[in-house]
Amino acid sequence: MQEQLKIAIIQSDLAWENQKKNRKGFTAKIEGIQEVDIIVLPEMFNTGFTMDAKTVAETMDGKTVAWMQKKALKTGAAIIGSLIILDNNHYFNRLLFVEPSGNITTYDKRHTFTLAGEDKVFTAGTEKVIIDYKGWKICPMVCYDLRFPVWARNVENYDVLIYVANWPKSRVQAWDTLLKARAIENISYVVGVNRVGIDEAENEYSGNSAVYDVLGNAITCTKPHKEQIEIAVLDKHHIHYYRNKLKFLDDKDAFILK
């Protein structure tokens, strides 16, 4: 078990529906990162937030999945990000956590974004996922999931909550506020990685990627509208100290999700 976890977050513009160009861009960015445990990419990092799943979807045997495995092996870091996956005749906004060993853990976005019609194209996931990596319990989620605190509630005693996103500038105040809230209420580190730039639908993205500690303090945050890589070091002692001191999670409500 590692007492510290080093995470790199990549805030980047995305080329619209151009997997090859996006993979090339992220390759250059990833090759500049050294000695980290996890590298986090945005939501739909190889296409942008498109609803044209039929045109750009890949399978789990596709080029982008293989690319993630190669980059994880080369860097020695786990790579995490979401992409459009066709599986059993259904399209999923699927987050992949790819380890250097080649092992892949997947999470399908539960809350499809109805405002953009994502629910009409993609099948919603049903399973919350907790990843055990280097002795850290990691809970991965995707963008719109951030608005639903019950789904993120820390009943599994996880250490890190990670959101990958294409969250527009027009609602970025909600992004900033809710990331901080998820950290405070779950006494957990929270990592939020968002894109920048303007997509084909003329949605503008300011980024505002950040890492928060268990008290909701920003450990690191990016500059708005800039492509940027930031590295944060998470510490197990920080979690244990405040959970033992405050014990707020001991008083949480029991509930059943339907």
3-class SS of residue 212: strand
Known catalytic residue at 43: yes
Known catalytic residue at 109: yes
132 lies in which domain range?
4-249
Establish if 46 belongs to a structural domain: yes
DSSP string, 12-46: -B--TT-HHHHHHHHHHHHHT--S-SEEE--TTTT
Known catalytic residue at 58: no
Print pLDDT tens along the chain (258 aa).
799 999 999 999 999 999 999 999 999 999 999 999 999 999 999 999 999 999 999 999 999 999 999 999 999 999 999 999 999 999 999 999 999 999 999 999 999 999 999 999 999 999 999 999 999 999 999 999 999 999 999 999 999 999 999 999 999 999 999 999 999 999 999 999 999 999 999 999 999 999 999 999 999 999 999 999 999 999 999 999 999 999 999 999 999 988
Which among 110, 68, 60 has a CA at the least distance from the CA of 87?
Answer: 60
> Helix count (H) and strand count (E) of the chain?
7, 14
Nearest-10 crossing angle of helices 63-75, 19-31: 0
Of the residues 71, 99, 139, 143, only one is catalytic, namely 143
Establish if 90 belongs to a structural domain: yes
Establish if 82 belongs to a structural domain: yes
Establish if 256 belongs to a structural domain: no
Of the residues 71, 109, 169, 180, only one is catalytic, namely 109
Q: Which residue has the tokens 């409500």?
A: 253
| Number of domains into which the chain is organized | 1
pLDDT tens string 57-111: 999 999 999 999 999 999 999 999 999 999 999 999 999 999 999 999 999 999 9
Establish if 196 belongs to a structural domain: yes
Cβ atoms of 48 and 200 within 8 Å: the answer is yes
Q: Which residue has the tokens 């990016």?
A: 222
**pTM to 2 decimal places:** 0.98
